[in-house]
């Protein structure tokens, strides 16, 4: 019988033993490199990320979202982190008090705002011995959160890190912050920047609804649509900015004599919101883009200018006036007199506020004090608007010589652009010597650009004075008309020959009668139109190359004089009746007098041709347009 061979399995068993040993070592290695660190991570998680720390971090986030201005987030985005422990940084809403209460209640010692990725902050803290060991360990423990590329400051994601004391031990927490101010159309708007850069001669006063700019000469000058404005206040909730023109733009009665002084449907409300070719609103640059078209104006009557009127008479309009209360808030709480207020322009002008049924509040020429006057008096008009919160600053520093320029109204390359595309109030280098500055009035004749001298004509260092004529109706052959269409136009002392060639000849000038408002119908529309409906122009006209501005016309109240001298009077084109002609005086008020009785100052007006183009400048007073024929 054959015997079976028995195989030797000892080698195979050795291999099995080696394989099992390697496997077991792998398991131990895996446990060592992953599980044990997880245990350590859990222990640190148990110590750091507690329910309490999450709660404290959550409220730190809420305070930051509510109170921190956008510039703090911008700093964090640029630098990677910012210390926000100081409650004075929380300038929005009631942020300062909310922050102080939060820190006191939770024994908070540090708060940091970082980008969503904590890499920069971790590197900053890592070797910084000004922080204690426990804080450095916590920051080192934090993930960098750098792998999530969708969550960045550009998309509105940040982190808040907080240190607080609990049971005599420093504890820590962190939480994600989403502040999508990048999607907020107001984030880079004018309001916050304006209030933060008022300058040493300005301050602010918050009445709980609006923050008013106060002081003698704050940095609140803004150039918009051919006019210099002053920023008066910022609405705390919607961040709109209220502006008022630096100059009077025209001169009107507030309303008819013995009529209700309500702003709604008054002479002045209609003038401000006139969208016709020579209306104020009609000549603003893209008003739907820049201003709140449905602004609410508090036109409530008040007998106490120091108390904010209740909102019982609200008027919805694009353009209004500032109220007497708003005017007082620009100086009353800053320890200065009305004469030193930045809104005191040395002229008389209407505020929005009625005093009673036949009187309204106005501002005095001499000291800027408030006075209640008969609403039928013809005083200066300083339009007010509310800029949208989304309007942004494009340049400037808010001073008179370098006002803020607005994005979309800061044209820098206008060479070759036709002048008839530009805006009422913009300055033009035109004329000679001391008489070389003019301003755009309107484009009431299609294709043409109406301009007027910025100041009354001067001759030999003194203002030129002329009688109007022998009757109240302007003509090219009466006293003032003969001069303007004769020696002024062709004599070579006031205009160059090339400038004369730019002027459209034989223009129509409207000679409608506007009565004294106290005695008759003083509606500004009657200076040009046959009735208040404005459906047809007045039949009484004259033809001349050079004329004057009408009663109530744009820029008729905007002029420069040596001082506020009531004896310095400037002729207007418009007759009051068959015996008197209107003039505007050095206080910004209207009057009327016989055409041959006295000699007054002259501001020539004319239309420039449709092919006049811009060759330089930006239309501001310091850099007027230069022009030529195209």
Q: Which position has the token pair 């820190």?
A: 103
326 close to 242: Cβ distance less than 8 angstroms: yes
> What average pLDDT does this structure show over 197-206?
94
Q: In the predicted model, is pLDDT for residue 453 greater than 60?
A: yes
The backbone torsions φ and ψ at residue 136, rounded to the nearest 5 degrees and listed phi first, read -65, -40
214 close to 226: Cβ distance less than 8 angstroms: no
Q: What is the pLDDT of residue 542?
A: 98
> What average pLDDT does this structure show over 438-448?
97
- Check residues 187 and 108 and name the one with the higher pLDDT: 108
Beta bridge partners of 172: 163
Instruction: Categorize the per-residue pLDDT at 19 as very low, low, confident or very high, splitting at 50, 70 and 90.
Output: low
Q: What is the pLDDT of residue 318?
A: 98
For the chain, the average pLDDT equals 90
Instruction: Categorize the per-residue pLDDT at 49 as very low, low, confident or very high, splitting at 50, 70 and 90.
Output: confident
Distance CA 180, CA 421 (A): 38
Q: Is 385 exposed, middle or buried (CB count within 10 Å of its CB: 0-12, 13-18, 19+)? A: buried
Task: Give the containing element (helix H, strand E) for 203.
Answer: strand 202-206
**pLDDT tens per residue, range 376-407:** 999 999 999 999 999 999 999 999 999 999 99
Least trusted range by pLDDT, from 117-131, 251-265, 309-323, 556-570:
556-570
Distance CA 551, CA 517 (A): 12
Distance CA 521, CA 295 (A): 29
Q: Is 65 exposed, middle or buried (CB count within 10 Å of its CB: 0-12, 13-18, 19+)? A: middle
Q: What is the pLDDT of residue 362?
A: 97
Q: Which position has the token pair 């999508």?
A: 180
Q: What is the pLDDT of residue 517?
A: 87
Distance CA 146, CA 37 (A): 21
| Count of Cβ atoms closer than 10 Å to residue 529 Cβ | 18
**pLDDT tens per residue, range 514-538:** 999 888 889 999 999 999 999 999 9
Q: What is the pLDDT of residue 51?
A: 85
> What average pLDDT does this structure show over 543-559?
96
User: Positive or negative, the Cα torsion across 389, 226, 548, 368?
Assistant: positive
**pLDDT tens per residue, range 323-339:** 999 999 999 888 899 99
Distance CA 595, CA 91 (A): 60
343 close to 368: Cβ distance less than 8 angstroms: yes
The two counts, helices (H) then strands (E), for the chain are 14, 35
Q: What is the pLDDT of residue 43?
A: 43
**pLDDT tens per residue, range 464-504:** 999 999 999 999 999 999 999 999 999 999 999 999 999 99
Q: In the predicted model, is pLDDT for residue 34 greater than 80?
A: no
**pLDDT tens per residue, range 298-357:** 999 999 999 999 999 999 999 999 999 999 999 988 889 999 999 999 999 999 999 998
Q: Transcribe 290-320 into DSSP letters.
A: HB-TTEEEE----S-TTSPPPSSSEEEES-B
507 close to 445: Cβ distance less than 8 angstroms: yes
Q: What is the pLDDT of residue 6?
A: 44
Q: What is the pLDDT of residue 71?
A: 80
Residue spans of beta strands (DSSP E) within 38-197: 81-83, 108-115, 157-166, 169-178
The domain segmentation of the chain, as residue ranges, is 48-183, 190-387, 412-629
Q: What is the pLDDT of residue 290?
A: 97
> What average pLDDT does this structure show over 434-460?
96
**pTM of the prediction?**
0.74
C-alpha radius of gyration, the chain, whole number: 36
Instruction: Annotate 590-622 with b (16+ C-beta within 10 A) or e (fewer).
Output: bbbbebeeeebbbbbbbbbbbebbbeebbbbbe
SS3 427: strand
HSE value, Cβ hemisphere, 13 Å, CA-based, for 313: 16
Q: What is the pLDDT of residue 520?
A: 83
By residue count, the chain amounts to: 630
Q: In the predicted model, is pLDDT for residue 16 greater than 70?
A: no
Q: In the predicted model, is pLDDT for residue 3 greater than 50?
A: no
Least Cα distance to 627 among 395, 401, 403, 426 occurs for: 426
Distance CA 309, CA 323 (A): 9
Q: Transcribe 329-393 into DSSP letters.
A: HTTTTTT--GGGSTT--SS-EEEEEE-SSSEEEEE-TTT--EEEEETTSEEEE--EEEE-TT--E
């Amino acid at each position: 019988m054959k015997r079976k061979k028995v195989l030797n399995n000892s080698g195979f068993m050795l291999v099995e033993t080696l394989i099992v040993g390697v496997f077991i070592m792998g398991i131990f290695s895996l446990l060592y490199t992953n599980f044990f660190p997880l245990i350590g991570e859990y222990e640190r998680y148990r110590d750091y990320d507690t329910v309490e720390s999450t709660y404290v971090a959550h409220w730190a986030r809420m305070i930051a979202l509510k109170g921190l201005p956008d510039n703090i987030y911008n700093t964090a985005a640029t630098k990677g982190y910012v210390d926000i422990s100081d409650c004075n940084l929380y300038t929005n809403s009631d942020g300062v008090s909310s922050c102080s209460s939060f820190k006191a209640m939770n024994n908070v010692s540090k708060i940091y705002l970082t980008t969503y990725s904590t890499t920069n902050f971790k590197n900053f803290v890592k070797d910084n011995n000004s922080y204690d060991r426990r804080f450095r360990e916590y920051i080192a423990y934090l993930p960098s959160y750098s792998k999530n590329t969708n969550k960045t400051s550009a998309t509105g994601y940040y982190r808040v890190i907080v240190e607080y004391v609990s049971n005599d031990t420093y504890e820590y927490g962190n939480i994600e912050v989403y502040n999508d101010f990048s999607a907020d159309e107001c984030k880079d708007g004018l309001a916050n920047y304006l209030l933060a850069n008022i300058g040493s001669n300005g301050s602010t006063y918050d009445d709980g609804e609006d923050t008013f700019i106060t002081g003698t000469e704050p940095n609140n000058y803004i150039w918009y649509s051919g006019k210099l404005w002053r920023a008066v206040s910022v609405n705390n909730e919607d961040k709109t900015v209220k502006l008022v023109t630096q100059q009077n733009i025209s001169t009107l009665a507030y309303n008819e004599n013995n009529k209700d002084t309500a702003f709604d449907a008054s002479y002045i409300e209609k003038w401000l919101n006139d969208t016709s070719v020579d209306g104020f609103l009609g000549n603003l640059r893209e008003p739907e883009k820049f201003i709140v078209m449905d602004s609410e104006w508090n036109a409530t009557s008040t007998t106490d200018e120091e108390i904010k009127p209740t909102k019982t008479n609200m008027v919805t309009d694009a353009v209004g006036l500032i109220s007497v209360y708003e005017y007082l808030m620009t100086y009353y709480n800053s320890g200065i007199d009305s004469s030193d207020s930045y809104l005191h322009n040395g002229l008389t002008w209407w505020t929005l506020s009625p005093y009673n049924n036949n009187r309204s509040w106005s501002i005095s020429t001499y000291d800027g004090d408030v006075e209640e006057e008969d609403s039928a008096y013809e005083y200066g008009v300083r339009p007010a608007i509310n800029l949208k919160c989304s309007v942004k600053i494009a340049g400037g520093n808010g001073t008179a010589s370098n006002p803020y320029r607005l994005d979309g109204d800061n044209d820098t390359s206008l060479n070759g652009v036709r002048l008839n595309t530009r805006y009422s109030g913009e300055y033009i280098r035109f004329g000679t010597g001391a008489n070389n500055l003019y301003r755009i009035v309107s484009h009431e004749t299609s294709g043409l650009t109406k301009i007027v001298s910025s100041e009354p004509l001067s001759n030999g260092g003194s203002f030129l004075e002329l009688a109007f004529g022998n009757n109240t109706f302007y003509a090219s052959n009466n006293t003032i008309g003969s001069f303007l269409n004769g020696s002024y136009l062709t004599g070579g002392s006031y205009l160059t020959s090339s400038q004369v060639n730019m002027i459209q000849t034989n223009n129509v000038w409207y000679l409608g009668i506007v009565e004294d408002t106290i005695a008759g119908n003083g509606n500004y529309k009657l200076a040009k139109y046959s009735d208040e409906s404005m459906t047809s122009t007045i039949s009484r006209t004259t033809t001349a190359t050079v004329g004057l501005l009408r009663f109530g016309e744009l820029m008729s109240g905007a002029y420069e004089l040596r001082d506020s001298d009531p004896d310095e009077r400037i002729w207007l084109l418009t007759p009051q009746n068959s015996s008197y002609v209107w003039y505007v005086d050095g206080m910004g008020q209207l009057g009327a007098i016989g055409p041959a009785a006295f000699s007054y100052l002259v501001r020539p007006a004319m239309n420039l041709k449709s092919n006049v183009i811009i060759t330089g400048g930006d239309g501001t007073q310091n850099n007027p347009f230069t022009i030529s024929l195209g």
